[in-house]
Amino acid sequence: MSFYEIREHVYGLIADDATFKTLTGATASDKRIYYQFPPERIEISDSKPAYIVYSTEFFEAIEAMEHVTGQRPPITFSFVIWAKDPQKLDQIFLRLFDIPIEVKAFNTATYRITAFRYLEGGDFPVDHEITRLYHRVVRWKAERVYKL
């Protein structure tokens, strides 16, 4: 199994979350969460008011340790929330703040993460074409990563 299963597990924590789906207008064909490189055009409308782009930091170096047993370095996940209005942005931020508090630790088929937490966040208004969009960066950290 690949270390990427951790990244996929974190994706599932958000993409499968009922609150997140409601807040972003996610559907089965448009999850409203994109890894690293989102599509060039993403719909922002009343029915699809927000989306998230996420990435991992130093993941390639960690992936190179696949054959090493024992504890791995921490993994930082960065999420950029883009929303049509600041209230929606705040609601999504609060949900992203709560998920690591609820989860705390998790197992994948090959790994155990025993410390999972909110790291930091910040927000900025951004002018995008004609519409004003808002975004906030949220970071999570998976610590004490062990290969099972």
- Tokens coding 79: 């999420």
Determine the longest span between alpha carbons in the chain, in angstroms: 52
- pLDDT of 12 > 80? The answer is yes
Quick one: pLDDT at residue 91? 94
| Structural domains of the chain in order of their starting residue, each with its CATH number | 4-147 (3.30.2000)
Quick one: pLDDT at residue 61? 55
Highest mean predicted confidence (pLDDT) among 45-49, 100-104, 140-144: 45-49
Higher per-residue confidence, 108 vs 74: 108
Quick one: pLDDT at residue 41? 87
How far apart CA 74 and CA 31 sit, in angstroms, is: 27
